[in-house]
Chains A and B, each alone.
Chain A
Amino acid sequence: MKYSLHLSDKVNPQTDVTIFELLINDKNLFEKFCKKVLKDGNLKNELSKTMAIIEQASSGYLLPAKKHNKINTGSATFQIFEAKAKILRVYYFIDEKNGNVIIIGGKKGNQKQDIEFVTKTVKEYFDERE
């Protein structure tokens, strides 16, 4: 199996919907991203905000589109969201059987490529599960 889920330990585990991180060939891209952000230091606030957004979204809070936006995936049946800070974006999708699954983080400047990547990844994920 190319894809597997790892229970996220970067968020409050008490959310209504459980939050996972996606492993691709056992590699956790989101964790790698977090480590880089924390090492660089200047976007720690933004990472913290995006984690707060995902937690609140996973507990059913209403959120403005400026913080939490549904990605247009065309005719696909799955739902991908981005948690937004000024520069950082964190992408996750809904796996109704398990919970909310964080895929990757990225910067606003790479948004187009990141969205292409997450859309392709989520499609493959569900294809593999079938």
Chain B
Amino acid sequence: MKENNIRKVIRDNPAYWVEKTNIALYDAILRFMKKKNMNQKSMAKHLEISEGRLSQILNTGNINYSLEKIIQIAIKVEKYPAFSFIAMSDLEEAENKRLFEKRSNFDYDGQEYYPFFMMFESALNQNVELKNNKQIKFELNLDESRN
């Protein structure tokens, strides 16, 4: 099996996209809690879910809610959920192009694709920059992001 076939098997597996989405929402919830200095009790109330459920989400990082509930939670943490569906061939081409660029150490200036759902900062927060459909970059504390 060629390596790029391994990538295709991974990319074609729904579990891959579910995990990316779970992590994106987990990240959004946690950052919101830290920003607002909220504890689990007040956060659960804010999200209109039980404390036990929130504790489970924060512990496991798995959301397991309906699409509607996920969108509700996203909005409550001041994010707009933006879903996009990209043709498999387009994504494959974009990934191959990017890989080629990295391999050849060449500055690639093309469009970058992010086919999973992205959490857009609320219009209330003006410190975010959106460029060319690129994923939003946050200022990060490396230690924090690494647990």
What is the interface of chain A, defined by CB distance below 8 A to chain B? 7, 9-14, 16, 18, 31, 34-35, 38-39, 44-49, 51-53, 55-57, 59-70, 79, 81
Contacts and interface: CB of A to CB of B under 8 A. Distances in A.
B95 A14 contact: yes
B119 to A, nearest CB: 10
B27 A34 contact: no
Contacts of B140: 60
Contacts, number: 111
B130 interface: no
A90 to B, nearest CB: 12
B101 to A, nearest CB: 8
B58 A59 contact: no
B144 A48 contact: no
Interface residues of B, number: 40
B15 A66 contact: no
B24 A61 contact: yes
| Among A16, A34, A39: residue with most chain B CB under 10 A | A34
A34 B19 contact: no
Interface stretch (B1-9, B43-51, B75-83): B1-9
A14 B4 contact: no
B7 A9 contact: yes
Given A64-B60, A68-B147, A70-B147, A10 B27 contact: no
A53 B137 CA distance: 17
A49 B16 contact: yes
Interface in B123-147: 135, 137-138, 140, 144-147
A52 B10 CA distance: 9
Contact of B26 (A38, A45, A60, A64): A64
29 contacts: A7-B102, A9-B6, A9-B7, A13-B102, A14-B94, A38-B6, A44-B15, A46-B15, A48-B9, A48-B16, A49-B16, A49-B19, A51-B10, A51-B16, A52-B17, A52-B20, A53-B19, A53-B23, A55-B20, A56-B20, A57-B145, A60-B137, A62-B26, A62-B145, A63-B23, A64-B61, A67-B23, A69-B147, A70-B146
B99 interface: yes
B1 A35 contact: yes
Contact of B15 (A9, A39, A45, A70): A45
B31 A62 contact: yes
B64 interface: no
A48 B10 CA distance: 5
Contact of A56 (B1, B3, B24, B137): B24
Nearest to B61: A64
| Among A39, A60, A66, A68: residue with most chain B CB under 10 A | A60
